[in-house]
Structure 1
């Protein structure tokens, strides 16, 4: 099976990667922590790429374009809420939430928010200031729920959101893998590069296979979103999102093991990638709660590996 991206999607991915590099790559997120106003440069970069004209609901090509943009943005943990913009509903920026513990990444950028849970219930959100106490990411804010809306968010939108979130995680993990691969090749102990030690090689092989596996599942899932019934599409997206979270745990744990204490210092891109990725890994649901949410789909037969 040929899993290469179509030429148009590949060219868009390359253009986005080059533009985000001109922003400074991961360093743009690092600068934004010191001066949140610099996030406006990320929004301008997205505007230059034509992101705000995309309609990921229109057809499979535009959804794939959104996915490759999310992957490129995830690779530099772009300090702007890209997915909520791609998934906006009636002028409001859609974000999936846990209604019992409402948090919004980049909630303070001044957008109009619409929160929804994974079953489609929706509420207007009023985002607060940065959530300093126990926050899970540099730009996470609390939010206040308005009155629940009478309509529901379409299940396909839930599937699209979770899928785009998984592509964002994929991009960040690919950057972490590249970062730690360079480290083990250049870091020497006992007169040898770390990459020459067998245990390190085994660990790096496991992580590389895990990240490449996530990439293949992400491509398969986005292809399957145009097939099957609504329950199957949501189940596919949830399964991908769960696998992305599990792969992130494996990748980040191994990366920090290779770096040691240095990996928790903000001088390294790994530290920035890890901290900025946490909201995508934990919201709207933790990996454990996602797994529980998948159980009914397994019982109904919607969770299947069969390719129609």
Structure 2
């Protein structure tokens, strides 16, 4: 079990970061919010040049890790495009993107995109999905719209189909968390820079012990998510039967960490952190869809508890933790 991405995947992630920065960086999401019709135009050519859609996360460990690195890079820049969902597209070419949804109120950040959508619920039921017309401006919705679901005609049955659906759920949840991890990385980086440059009482904010304690608490949360993200990715890669359990555990940790990280980073930025003049404001606002969809904190906790019952997790924090490396 290797918790770190391969050198090749990590380099692909760095290449994606540079390419997205050259394409506009923080301006990508700001322009997309002002001109929602240009969402795809702003991002897709960059991803095409990177060969993003040539990746098959289900095909090999290397491609799965490269997909995770790309999602993390997309999160860093709050890219206004469903990168993880497109990477999770079902095999066979029947859909361009796959979203994991809650059956009671299916929704996704896909407003205004010309994509053929598939959806899967946490219990592995698959649907064809159609995005509704947005009725709320992007500034308030972060491009989230409701979805209409229709059963797939001729959906295969049997153990193989069930295993594939479970794989869809685990992959969709895990890559979505890698996107959120990239947002947490950026929030911490922005705040470190801010407290080093901002002075109060004649010294940088970073010199104050209270600030150091707060930032340390947030970093512990972020680093924990990074570790769990590596484990959950390996769980998907290895095809473990508990991969969905691990994905839900990762999602719960990521959502909880996001609450801490954005609370601390906003506090340390002060009122400025809620103004559009600061990147943190944009990052925080566009972190809400991956934090709330398909389920928020409480619902994710309930879903995980329901799946586990009394048996508990079997991963790195469970009673049967894997201690060796492969």
Shared fold, TM over 0.5: yes
Residue 294 of structure 1: how far off its partner (Å)? 1.1
Q: Measure the CA separation in 2 of the matches of 1:270 and 1:296.
A: 35
Q: Measure the CA separation in 1 of the matches of 2:287 and 2:88.
A: 19
* Runs of at least 4 residues off by over 3 Å: 1-4, 133-137, 147-153, 226-229
Residue 225 of structure 1: how far off its partner (Å)? 2.2
How many residues are matched? Answer: 307
State whether structure 2 residue 311 is matched by structure 1 residue 307. Answer: no
In the other structure, the counterpart of 1:33 is 33
TM-score relative to the length of structure 1: 0.93
Unmatched segments (≥5 aa) in structure 1: none
Q: Which of residues 174, 185, 189 is equivalent to 2:185?
A: 174
Q: 1:181-200 maps to which residues of 2 (within 5 A)?
A: 181-200=192-211
In the other structure, the counterpart of 1:96 is 100
State whether structure 2 residue 127 is matched by structure 1 residue 126. Answer: no
Residue 136 of structure 1: how far off its partner (Å)? 6.1
In the other structure, the counterpart of 1:288 is 298
In the other structure, the counterpart of 1:49 is 50
**Greater Cα offset, 48-57 or 102-111:** 102-111
Q: 1:100 to 1:135 in 2, by over 3 A?
A: farther
Residue 297 of structure 1: how far off its partner (Å)? 3.6
SS of the residue 1:123 aligns to: strand
State whether structure 2 residue 251 is matched by structure 1 residue 271. Answer: no
In the other structure, the counterpart of 2:87 is 86
Residue 3 of structure 1: how far off its partner (Å)? 4.7
Q: Measure the CA separation in 1 of the matches of 2:118 and 2:46.
A: 24
State whether structure 2 residue 112 is matched by structure 1 residue 108. Answer: yes
Q: Measure the CA separation in 2 of the matches of 1:91 and 1:175.
A: 35
In the other structure, the counterpart of 1:58 is 59
Q: Measure the CA separation in 2 of the matches of 1:41 and 1:296.
A: 41
Q: Which of residues 230, 233, 253 is equivalent to 2:243?
A: 233
Q: Measure the CA separation in 1 of the matches of 2:243 and 2:289.
A: 23
**Greater Cα offset, 212-221 or 291-300:** 291-300
RMSD: 2.1
Q: Measure the CA separation in 2 of the matches of 1:250 and 1:118.
A: 26
In the other structure, the counterpart of 2:149 is 145
Residue 299 of structure 1: how far off its partner (Å)? 2.8
Per-residue Cα deviation, 1:156-189 (whole angstroms, up to 9, x for no partner): 1111111101110000000010011111111122
Per-residue Cα deviation, 1:178-201 (whole angstroms, up to 9, x for no partner): 011111111122222111111101
Contact 1:137–1:275 (CA<8 Å) still a contact in 2?
no
SS of the residue 1:285 aligns to: coil
In the other structure, the counterpart of 1:154 is 165
TM-score relative to the length of structure 2: 0.88
**Greater Cα offset, 274-283 or 186-195:** 186-195
